[in-house]
A = this chain, B = another copy of it.
């Protein structure tokens, strides 16, 4: 016999198309501890069924016949984690024949960003947990989900329009220092505060408000606001998919 998996005949006989599912990489930002850099982090769910039972995996699930792909992503991630991100974009479709050991599975991967105040606010469930992006505990994930996470990070780092991404991780108003922390977490290196300020001042999409963040120990920083200029072609409405 050949190296074709044993289930191939079954699928072929029934003339069924591959099973269709969605998975979502949900990224958020977590403030660094005692002067350390901010960290990117994401929620994962532990699989309770075969295959890969017990391993951490991306939230997701099958696509229903009456929903769009983006809707499926939003629905499954809300169902498993309770999270409702404000940004959702399609990432890539993974369809190698051997990516699941039990059946032919095509997965459309999505990529979501979460406001900082929602990070950690998942459902109470021992099978849902947050991990820092560099946590060695998630070096291996179920299926090819580690590859999907790496690809999401690659895409985040290569985004042209950083303004959009940063504000979707922070929320409505933010200080320049917080925004710089986000950039540093994404790029993995320190940035000069003065030069960072200069570049953002020349960016039309970020606007100074006349409010300041009070309560700190030192000089209060000004608050800024993102003034978007329309979604890019990849973006998906998280509510209507």
Within 8 A of B (CB), among A56-81: 62-63, 65-69
Which chain A residues (12-49) contact chain B, with CB distance < 8 Å? 12, 16-20
Which listed segment binds B: A88-96, A116-124, A125-133, A193-201? A88-96
- Across the interface, do A16 and B65 meet the contact criterion of CB distance under 8 Å? yes
Complex: chain B residue closest to A72, CB-CB? B95
- Residue numbers in B under 8 Å from A95 (CB-CB): 63, 68-69, 108
* A160 at interface by CB-CB < 8 Å: yes
B233 touches A65 (CB 8 A): no
Distance to closest chain B CB from A220 (angstroms): 39
What CA separation (Å) do A104 and B154 show in the bound complex?
Answer: 32
Cα A11 to Cα B66 in complex, Å, equals 9
What's the Cα separation between A65 and B160 when bound, in Å?
A: 37
Tell whether, in the assembled complex, residue B12 and residue A104 are in contact, meaning their CB atoms are under 8 Å apart.
Answer: no
* B17 x A67 contact (CB < 8 A): no
Measured CA separation A93–B69 after assembly (Å): 9
Interface membership of A4, Cβ < 8 A: yes
| A233:B154 contact, CB within 8 angstroms | yes
What residue in chain B is nearest A13 (Cβ atoms)? B65
The one of B18, B69, B160 that contacts A63, using a Cβ cutoff of 8 Å: B18
Is A8 engaged at the interface, CB distance under 8 Å to the other chain? yes
30 A-B interface contacts by CB (under 8 A): A4-B66, A8-B65, A11-B66, A12-B66, A16-B17, A16-B65, A17-B17, A17-B20, A17-B62, A17-B65, A18-B20, A18-B63, A20-B20, A20-B106, A63-B95, A63-B106, A66-B97, A67-B97, A68-B95, A68-B97, A69-B93, A69-B95, A90-B92, A90-B93, A93-B93, A93-B108, A95-B108, A151-B233, A154-B233, A158-B160
Given contacts A17-B19, A18-B63, A158-B160, 18 further A-B contacts (CB under 8 A): A4-B66, A8-B65, A11-B65, A16-B17, A16-B65, A17-B17, A17-B65, A20-B106, A63-B95, A65-B104, A66-B97, A68-B95, A68-B97, A69-B106, A90-B92, A92-B234, A151-B233, A154-B233
